[in-house]
Amino acid sequence: MTKAIVAVLFLLVATSPALAFDNTQAFAKGSTVLSLEGGAGSQANFENHKHQSELDLWYTGLRYSWLPFEPGGPSILRGSFEIGVEPIYVRYYNPVEAYYAGLGFRARWHFLSLGRFVPYVETGAAAGGGNLEVKEIDSTFAFLVNIGAGASVFVTDRTAIYAGYRLVHVSNGNTDKPNRGFEAHTGVIGVSFYFK
């Protein structure tokens, strides 16, 4: 999946006209961003457990964000900070059928030195409920936290498509037992619309 995301981003950059456009207009202070995204992935085993559920999942979210500052920073680190709120829905489909729904916050730093090609790093956290009952977690309440990186490509002056990687952690914060929690490697794709 990661190779496919990289290939799509490469093709988009290679075929995007006028790569040297001024992206600071889209990232102007006070702008808002509406993003629709989806992703999928599988459970990781960082702690080398002998037995785990081997969960597969997909997710979708709708984010409304704000750019509170003017772009800033030195040289290649020059960028723009985005903070947003998003409802998120996760569907577990293998080896069990279950769901998670929650409300989260996301923060991104967009690197603006490459014109239409805009890499980013991000972090997010959500709280919500679901019905996943596996050895790693069995509670109606759970936190979902993640970190990631990816890149956007502006297909117009105010519209960008993006793809990236997220490492997701799910836990109930010891509000119930069991709470071994789990991690998942996931890919994400989405589209963002920038408004001034």
- Encode pLDDT of 167-178 as tens digits: 999 998 877 777
Reading the block at residue 182, the tokens are 């789990």
Residue 143 inside a domain? The answer is no
Residue 109 inside a domain? The answer is yes
pLDDT at 4 over 90: no
Residue 113 domain boundaries: 2-137+149-195
Reading the block at residue 158, the tokens are 């105010």
- Cβ neighbours for 15, distance < 8 A, ≥ 6 positions apart: none
Residue 142 inside a domain? The answer is no
pLDDT, position 2: 60
Most confident by average pLDDT, 1-5, 138-142, 186-190: 186-190
Q: What is the pLDDT of residues 41-62, one digit of tens each?
A: 999 998 888 899 999 999 999 9
Residue 69 inside a domain? The answer is yes
pLDDT at 12 over 60: no
Residue 16 inside a domain? The answer is yes
pLDDT, position 9: 53
**CA 108, 142, 176, 184 torsion: positive or negative?**
negative
pLDDT at 18 over 50: no
Number of domains in the chain: 1
Residue 89 inside a domain? The answer is yes
Query: The CATH number of the domain where 8 resides is what?
Result: 2.40.160.20
